[in-house]
Chain A
Amino acid sequence: MDLAIETTDLIKRYGSIVAVNHLNLKVESNTIHGFLGPNGAGKTTTIKILVGLLKPDGGRVTVLGEEVQGDNPDVRLKIGYMPELPRFPKHLKGYELLDIYGKMYGISTQERKIRIQRVLEIVGLKGRERDFIGEYSKGMQQRLGIAQALLSEPELIILDEPSLGLDPAGMVEVRGVIKEIAKEGVTVFLSSHLLYEVEQVCSHVSIIHRGACLASGRLEEIIAKISGPVMLEVELAEESEDVFEVLKNLPFISKIQRENKTLIIKLETTDDVRPQISQAITKAGGIIVYMNMKRRGLEEAFMRLIMKS
């Protein structure tokens, strides 16, 4: 397993506040990895350590195979980073900024021209690049933030709350952009306090709360893990004692509630066992007219996970 980011027992304090508390984080290469947690969880602090803006008080950090220590411009060569609510010099024009940043990456003049047009198109800033950044709205600065993170075609893109400050249409657009770039073999690490955002774009997720990692892994696994027991609602053509007896004996069913022709089945597994259940009912002579699987709301499960810790 190739890791793009790894932190081991990472600690960061601001005076007496412990912002990052023994954080262990593993981000696999070529994934879209969500860094999910409520406001104040320590996401931005962690990201700032990854890109060298802050120094850790303890623990180790490795980015793209290199240990992050002090000022290391060569690691940053392979990273595109969009800060949380990024701000750029007001007195520069969008194009000037991208051109200067591009030069810092050693991109040739010719290549810069092409790439700047491309990233401007991707983030929807085309036509505004000759305006001073001071005249940009916050949403436009956010888009410029994404553009400058993509400019160098990095191996790893770190986005700190990419949809913060965008209108709903902008958010959808940005999510599209993220999915698109990840198809091209880039690792994307994005922080968010919005569960549904992570759900929509990420393949993997790490949940952080009070500076520590609560859960980490593939998105579906984590969702299954945190979302708790699953309910299955089954309506039969007619009431049947046989069906009830058969179902009661299935190992992954913990409880059945009967309401006339409707059965509310509580499952012990988070796997999808609808085929097995349907088969068992049919064997027992029952006829299914309706079946619906219900998970506990993810948002609710997420809140419970955070409350529990």
Chain B
Amino acid sequence: MVYTSRISEKVSKKPKFSDRFLAVVKYELLWNIRKKKFLGVLIAAFAFSTLSLLLPVILSHAFGAPFEANPNFVIGRGGISSGFTLFLFALVSVMNSISGEFESGTIIPLVTKPVSRSIIFFGKVFASLLTISAAYSLLYAYMAIGGTVIYGPQNNLHLMPLCILGDLLSTFVWVSIVLALGSLSKNTILTAISAIIVFLAISISAPIVSVFSEGAWILNYVPGNGASGYVKGANQGMLPGTSVTTGTDSITSNLVRYILSPSEKVTYFKVEVGAGIKELYSEPLSTVLSRSMLVALAYITISTFTAWYAFKNAQVLE
């Protein structure tokens, strides 16, 4: 039994930064793609996409209406489209990235390797970025192919990479919040529950605040769908235009809208019982879009910093 190959240089060289970083990324990627919850959400997202591809077809069959080609089917939807989906991807990707390591005790052999905690942390973040990007790319590709097959040639497919970036920006607001919760609590269940509560609280209160009060502007500064408004155009329900939302989850749809018609304005409104819709004020779509992107970046920066700081200074008591 020979333990060492001592002939080989005894003075150990410092490993390269890229080696340490990529090792952590691989460690995390192998975990991510084997997470059952993540795979579950991915499958659900595919099922959901299939449904949204087929539903118009089914409906037109059911009502005997003529089925029309729609060249704007894929890009016109504006991204993954549901804030809930973005949130779910974020949640299942990173809810145990940090807390799970503490709970299982696997953090101990990991952080005692010659890799700084900062590299471990950002390696994990980067791995989740890769995983979620891959999932979104697959979903978009699926929608593009399915949409073309069912609704004919599609317009503006070249915007797809931009849509993916927009969706990633929206998702990473949630990713960073979930990471911060996980890093502070070191408890996966607590992380998941508190993240879900935050998401639901915002999602439920936002439309109410937005539609029935004049304080909707505040929603532009919390994560999620943001305030509701409309852009002038064909009437949609009781609105004198097309409804839009302005928050961090709406970055992709507003991005697409802005690229296709840059000069649009978003009008905010309030519903008054008996009096109908009262216009509050308007602002350019470009303002709405850039603000939501800045707000997203601010959340990502602050939450990521919090998560990193807590992780870097955590003692391993487990």
Residues of A within 8 A of B5 (CB): 114-115, 153
Docked Cα-Cα span, A51 to B14, in Å, equals 18
Tell me how far the C-beta of A182 lies from the nearest C-beta in chain B, rounded to whole angstroms: 9
B317 interface residue, CB < 8 Å from A? yes
Query: Judging by beta carbons under 8 Å apart, are A89 and B104 in contact?
Result: yes
Docked Cα-Cα span, A31 to B211, in Å, equals 75
B315 interface residue, CB < 8 Å from A? yes
Residues of A within 8 A of B115 (CB): 73, 104
Query: Judging by beta carbons under 8 Å apart, are A78 and B111 in contact?
Result: no
A184 interface residue, CB < 8 Å from B? yes
Chain B 1-30: CB-based contact to A (< 8 A → 1; otherwise 0): 111111010001111100110111011001
Query: Judging by beta carbons under 8 Å apart, are A89 and B106 in contact?
Result: yes
Tell me how far the C-beta of A103 lies from the nearest C-beta in chain B, rounded to whole angstroms: 4
Across the interface, B22 reaches (CB within 8 A) one of A96, A103, A177, namely A103
Tell me how far the C-beta of A241 lies from the nearest C-beta in chain B, rounded to whole angstroms: 59
Docked Cα-Cα span, A16 to B122, in Å, equals 35
B109 interface residue, CB < 8 Å from A? yes
B291 interface residue, CB < 8 Å from A? no
Interface size on A, residues (CB 8 A): 48
Tell me how far the C-beta of A303 lies from the nearest C-beta in chain B, rounded to whole angstroms: 30
> Which chain A residue has the least Cβ–Cβ distance from B312?
A71
Query: Judging by beta carbons under 8 Å apart, are B114 and A104 in contact?
Result: yes
Query: Judging by beta carbons under 8 Å apart, are B3 and A153 in contact?
Result: yes
Query: Judging by beta carbons under 8 Å apart, are B8 and A122 in contact?
Result: no
Greatest chain A CB density within 10 A among B104, B108, B117, B315 is at B108
A86 interface residue, CB < 8 Å from B? yes
Tell me how far the C-beta of B101 lies from the nearest C-beta in chain A, rounded to whole angstroms: 8
Residues of A within 8 A of B27 (CB): 89, 92, 100
Tell me how far the C-beta of B162 lies from the nearest C-beta in chain A, rounded to whole angstroms: 34
Docked Cα-Cα span, A14 to B316, in Å, equals 12
B236 interface residue, CB < 8 Å from A? no
Residues of B within 8 A of A48 (CB): 316
**Given contacts A74-B14, A145-B109, is CB(A184)–CB(B104) below 8 Å?**
no
**Given contacts A73-B116, A76-B113, is CB(A180)–CB(B30) below 8 Å?**
no
Count of CB-CB pairs between chains A and B under 8 Å: 123
Chain A 85-109: CB-based contact to B (< 8 A → 1; otherwise 0): 1111111100010001101111000
B56 interface residue, CB < 8 Å from A? no
Residues of B within 8 A of A81 (CB): 109, 112
Chain B 115-128: CB-based contact to A (< 8 A → 1; otherwise 0): 11110000000000
Across the interface, A103 reaches (CB within 8 A) one of B4, B19, B112, namely B19
**Given contacts A77-B12, A152-B12, is CB(A105)–CB(B114) below 8 Å?**
yes
> Which chain B residue has the least Cβ–Cβ distance from A152?
B12
Query: Judging by beta carbons under 8 Å apart, are A87 and B3 in contact?
Result: no
Binding site for A on B (CB under 8 A): 1-6, 8, 12-16, 19-20, 22-24, 26-27, 30-31, 34-35, 104-106, 108-109, 111-118, 312, 315-317
Binding site for B on A (CB under 8 A): 14, 48, 51-55, 71, 73-74, 76-79, 81, 83, 85-92, 96, 100-101, 103-106, 111, 114-115, 118, 121-122, 145, 148, 150, 152-153, 177, 180-181, 184-186
Given contacts A54-B317, A101-B109, 20 further A-B contacts (CB under 8 A): A53-B108, A74-B14, A76-B113, A77-B12, A83-B108, A83-B109, A86-B105, A87-B106, A89-B27, A92-B30, A103-B19, A104-B115, A105-B12, A105-B114, A106-B16, A106-B19, A106-B20, A177-B1, A185-B6, A186-B3
Q: List 21 A-B contacts (CB under 8 A).
A: A53-B111, A76-B114, A81-B109, A85-B105, A87-B104, A87-B109, A88-B109, A89-B104, A100-B26, A103-B19, A104-B114, A106-B13, A106-B16, A106-B19, A118-B3, A145-B109, A153-B4, A153-B6, A177-B1, A181-B4, A185-B6
